[in-house]
Structure 1
Amino acid sequence: MIAHDISRRGLLAAVAGAATLGLAGCGGDGSATGSAAATGDGDLLAQITERGAMTFATEGTWSPWTFHNEAGDLTGYDIEVARAIAERLGVEAEFAEGEWDGLLAGLDSGRYDTMANGVSVTDEREEKYDFTEPYAYNRIVVITTGDSDIASMDDLAGKTTANTLGSSYAVLAESHGATNTGVDDFNQTIQLLESGRIDATLNDEVVFYDYMNQHPEADLKIAAENDEPTHVAFPLRKEAATESLLAAMNDAIAALREDGTLSELSNEFFGVDITEA
């Protein structure tokens, strides 16, 4: 990662002011469960600054967004963007890995500060979460075997798909009449697809190309794509305690876009720049 030397005086002053007003902090042990956000009081940015770490929930199995490299290190576009944001806030980035549903539940309960997992902004999610400004724009595609007759989103009617329950992919597939089977991760969807147990799966265009680069022998294709790109952003609990963190993260994202870090990371992990709409 490229080191960034921007001034944090405004941020630190805001945090210091919050501390002066007596806002509660965490125990300082670096654990996500130490966050006072779980109890509904305090300012989350002040707590993160006090403990010196920000906890991002992630799957760690979804290349190139979040995965383990050959050395076993957690990396990916989401992971490195999260680290860059934490650096801008003057803290360390910590990651809690798990399955999708558990990540959402952990965010809701306050175990995690946010999620770094290619989270798409949807109308339904905006009712429950506050989202940062987007840090990526993504196209959802329908992935099928090479001999499939699916050629459009409408062709999903009456077909079977597989995606993690509650994901934007599952919701989109079902909105076009497909019957979705819940799975844990992308690798399971591909296994079901190649074995003929489902007709298609929906995922990111960049995820498909990353998979094909690693498995050029796979008899898979993009059969259709969604018309509009989805906005990818960090979700935060919709409560007063997260307002200052939301503002600070938006400032960090703006700075990372302006200095070219987002574009650089996108090209590194995706081979293309998906940071502009």
Structure 2
Amino acid sequence: MKQFKIWFLLLVLLVPTIFLSGCENVTQRANTEDTWTHIQKRGKVIIGLDDSFVPMGFRQKNGKLVGYDIDLARAVFKQYGIKVDFQPIDWSMKETELRNGTIDLIWNGYTMTPAREGKVLFSRPYQQNQQILVTKTKYNINNFSDMAGKT
């Protein structure tokens, strides 16, 4: 009788757990697959960006949005016949905007880091940046730490 109770308890606990975990995975997969389908059906993609990030994406004096990322995004989605709408966002809220579905993607100097890879799905990088310090030789600055206390 005691063995029956143990098996019954395990069955009662495991079946719902297995069922619910399976549903969650199917839902996540469906949402991932559905995003591109939704964009294609809508014929438009909403790209979140910082519109003051010169030269990648910024506003000219007349308010027109221009820059390298703007041109590249339009060229890429033109190949798919999809219109591009750019949505300026609060950059500190970029992952939240993406998760909430107010934007479809982020395309604006968003550097890949291990921490960010845990939050979002990245495409293959299309650009690699480096920061370089240039000074006159007479100042004898050979690395970033030599800049301590200097302007």
TM norm structure 2: 0.66
Equivalent residue number for residue 84 of structure 1: 75
RMSD: 3.0
Equivalent residue number for residue 194 of structure 1: none
Structure 2 residue 69 is matched with structure 1 residue 99? no
Equivalent residue number for residue 111 of structure 2: 120
- Shift of residue 92, structure 1, vs aligned partner: 0.3
Letter in 2 for 1:79: I
**Could you say what secondary structure the match of 1:95 adopts?**
strand
Structure 2 residue 129 is matched with structure 1 residue 138? yes
Q: Which of the pair is proportionally richer in helix?
A: 2
Q: 22, 26, 39: which one pairs with 1:48?
A: 39
Structure 1 regions of 5+ residues with no counterpart?
1-36, 160-198, 201-277
Q: Distance in 1 between matches of 2:123 and 2:87?
A: 20
Q: Distance in 1 between matches of 2:66 and 2:55?
A: 8
Equivalent residue number for residue 205 of structure 1: none
Structure 2 residue 143 is matched with structure 1 residue 152? yes
- Shift of residue 84, structure 1, vs aligned partner: 1.1
Identical columns (%)? 29
Aligned pairs for 1:162-201 within 5 A:
none
Structure 2 regions of 5+ residues with no counterpart?
1-27
Q: Distance in 2 between matches of 1:113 and 1:77?
A: 19
Q: Distance in 2 between matches of 1:41 and 1:138?
A: 29
- Shift of residue 114, structure 1, vs aligned partner: 0.8
- In structure 2, do the counterparts of structure 1 residues 54 and 61 end up closer, same or farther at CA, with 3 Å as the change threshold? same
- Shift of residue 43, structure 1, vs aligned partner: 1.0
Structure 2 residue 49 is matched with structure 1 residue 58? yes
- In structure 2, do the counterparts of structure 1 residues 50 and 64 end up closer, same or farther at CA, with 3 Å as the change threshold? same
Q: Distance in 2 between matches of 1:101 and 1:149?
A: 37
- Shift of residue 110, structure 1, vs aligned partner: 2.0
TM norm structure 1: 0.38
Higher Cα Rg: structure 1 or 2?
2
Equivalent residue number for residue 14 of structure 2: none
